[in-house]
Amino acid sequence: VKTLHPKVHGGILADKDIPEHLETLKEHDIQPFDLICVNLYDFASCAAKNPTLKEAVEQIDIGGPTMLRASAKNYHSILVAPDPAEYPAIMEDLKANGGKASLDLRRKMAVKTFAATSRYDNMISSYLAEGSE
């Protein structure tokens, strides 16, 4: 529940190009984020161990996908890092741009993020469809 807190999502979803958004952050003592890096719960490994359905459900990440999607939605203001495999490309872009992520990189990471969260949701829905109580 802590990752679903308004101070977290306010800092993720604020459009830094809109002065009213920045004023709202200041008013509520919320810091804007420049980068969100999330590694989702490894649901595939859990499912491979043949847990009970209740045990498997406990390993479904809720806050991680929510933060990833919110960051990807706001890619014009924030960089999202959805997978450790992307870290080298992210580091290269940051070095090439004086520590600021390019808009092209932010858009590419948003696309990869939505694809990754879609795969994650599909894996879970398939597991639940096949499982029994």
pLDDT in tens, the chain (133 residues): 667 899 999 999 999 999 999 999 999 999 999 999 999 989 999 999 999 999 999 999 999 999 999 999 999 999 999 999 999 999 999 999 999 999 999 999 999 999 999 999 999 999 999 876 5
Q: Look up the pTM and report it.
A: 0.90
The sign of the dihedral angle between the CA atoms of 112, 113, 114, 116 is positive
As a whole number of angstroms, the distance between CA 61 and CA 116 comes to: 13
The torsion angles phi and psi of 35, rounded to 5 degrees, stand at -145, 135
